[in-house]
Chains A and B, each alone.
Chain A
């Protein structure tokens, strides 16, 4: 240990030369392109654009000959949102990677959650993902069945980090998917005539399924669904009572990645249901058409 340790510290720091970061540098700009900082005329601008285009073509050309582990094939953090897993593809390791097994502090554990907890570690309740996975698949098949029977499904996620998730999840179900991202207005189901005046007589307002990504913040909504006999699915954390929703999915509700995986799985299952319904309709119409033709033929044969 040196007599004056702060001098050694400053000497170490002095040795590391901080490289100037080029804010304008992207994957499509060459490493030493100083041109970008010295553009003064439109000709310089066009030159810069040409250079970028040229570098990009070179990059794309040589990309095909390099490693097979490219950006497209590697996991990127946005894939949980943009490339959701199907129910059959969801694995324990995907859930663990998303941190779905982290519950809250042991002192906050709801006693009714005990069957779903694996144990404790570092003062946290660890959620048993081997129970989560079949419950998730059960919820997914429920969503698929509801969607197949033309049911409407609402995705509720009232935190800022859940907005993208619920929007994409509802998009996947087409006209049958809805989302609530800011606040569940009290009385949405129980006071609909006042909240939605003309629409309460025009449209079918009772949803057939509601999915809660953060149920503890939406207890009013859960209560309304119970009053109106609407089945509910919810991500249940260790501080929540699993009995508040009909189909609990024990997982970490504070993790956005876990919510993305779960909402993704459910919406993919819903999409499968919608597609199956479309195919059923097609086969039904096809059969009806064939019956019509047969009738016409037998009618002609008889007469």
Chain B
């Protein structure tokens, strides 16, 4: 795959009136045949060989019972009659890896030369910064080891990926400059090193970036957050309470001075609904301590009654569920009103409580409780 890409690349680069590059030894190998048998002299009669060791395996016509080449018994050929190893990096025992490195380096220098011919290189630094960001989908180390048929260490993998990144940058420059031939030529080479997992990971990254850019709220203005505590998981949707639209409503600035406002014109305190598993909070959490946990982030942020909350919680017991909902509510407040984040952070309400039930250990009655010590 890479060889074909590089051959096409060399032809393309020579068409761009660059100096035609040397044909790499890798391609030369495909042209030469391994055997160097000399033609027999034309005048001689048949002379039987001195020993059967030097003869090639003779196949009699009636013997072709099995067509499977690998199962036929092999008479070992002497070493000097065999072809030479094909790859120049054969003796490294990682020939495909080193050949790939050489080819990628060659492709990189060819593409840089092609860009320089079109005066696209060297790019001024601000133009380099203005290039669209790279979105790589390279195979991971394990997959690359399969592609390159060699066990890769982290350093070896990094070498390949560095070269691929440089090639990808040349491709981006070519794409921006509408140099489609060069762009396609580079893509032909780099697509052999991408993998399905890498493409999936890239798509996930793009989607995550887009979701981040869109904002934390969906099209109806709801936030969706998740909180966990002990073994409970809470999923919480928060939406702003709709303010009444009549003109007679007193503006919010009026609530600042206590003396100026009269009791007749003060608006009623904002009320909101909090439903947990489709049950009102007072029914779901009979204990006031649990209700306090849920409501505390809103109190500290000053957003009591500002949001209608709908929570689905599963797993654990009362305090675990209330803690999970509290975390999700705190995250939801931050999603709606980002200015509130430092307040909640200081109050440690944005921290997922890592405390879980500790396991019982052998030789102990419980996680920490020891059996009664006996002197004898």
A residues with a Cβ closer than 8 A to B are: 23-24, 26, 28, 36-37, 39, 48-49, 52-53, 56, 150, 152, 154, 167, 170-171, 174-185, 188, 195-196, 199, 201-207, 284-285, 288, 291-292, 295
Contacts and interface: CB of A to CB of B under 8 A. Distances in A.
Contacts of A23: 124-125
Contacts of B80: 204
A32 to B, nearest CB: 15
B126 A199 contact: no
Given A203-B85, A204-B84, 5 more contacts: A171-B25, A184-B91, A196-B93, A202-B82, A203-B34
Interface in B24-41: 24-25, 28-29, 32, 34, 36, 38-39
A187 B83 CA distance: 21
A203 B89 contact: no
Interface string B1-34: 0000000000000000000001011001100101
Contacts of A180: 89, 91-92
Contacts of B82: 202-204
B89 A179 contact: yes
20 contacts: A24-B122, A24-B124, A39-B124, A52-B119, A53-B119, A152-B84, A174-B32, A175-B29, A175-B86, A182-B92, A188-B91, A196-B90, A196-B93, A199-B85, A201-B76, A203-B82, A204-B79, A285-B39, A288-B39, A295-B43
A211 to B, nearest CB: 13
B102 interface: yes
B23 to A, nearest CB: 9
B28 A178 contact: no
A37 B24 contact: no
Q: Among A150, A202, A292, find the residue whose CB has the most chain B CB atoms closer than 10 A.
A: A202
B118 to A, nearest CB: 8
Overall SS of chain B's interface: loop
Contact of B92 (A53, A185, A291, A292): A185
B32 A178 contact: no
Contacts of B83: 202-204
A50 B208 CA distance: 41
Contacts, number: 100
A196 B76 CA distance: 16
B35 to A, nearest CB: 11
Contacts of B98: 181-182
A170 to B, nearest CB: 5
B199 to A, nearest CB: 31
A197 to B, nearest CB: 11
Contacts of A26: 122
B25 A177 contact: yes
B127 interface: yes
B88 interface: yes
B243 interface: no
Contacts of B370: none
B79 A205 contact: yes
Contacts of A196: 90, 93
B52 interface: no
Interface in B208-267: none
Contacts of A56: 119
Interface in B84-120: 84-86, 88-93, 98, 102, 118-120
B92 A181 contact: yes
A170 B79 contact: no
B343 to A, nearest CB: 43
A182 B119 CA distance: 36
Contacts of A171: 22, 24-25, 88
Nearest to A50: B119
Contacts of B84: 152, 175-176, 203-204
Contacts of A206: 79
A203 B22 CA distance: 26
B42 A288 contact: yes
B346 interface: no
Contacts of A183: 92
A49 B90 contact: no
Interface string B326-355: 000000000000000000000000000000
Nearest to A151: B84
Contacts of A49: 118-120
A291 B39 CA distance: 13
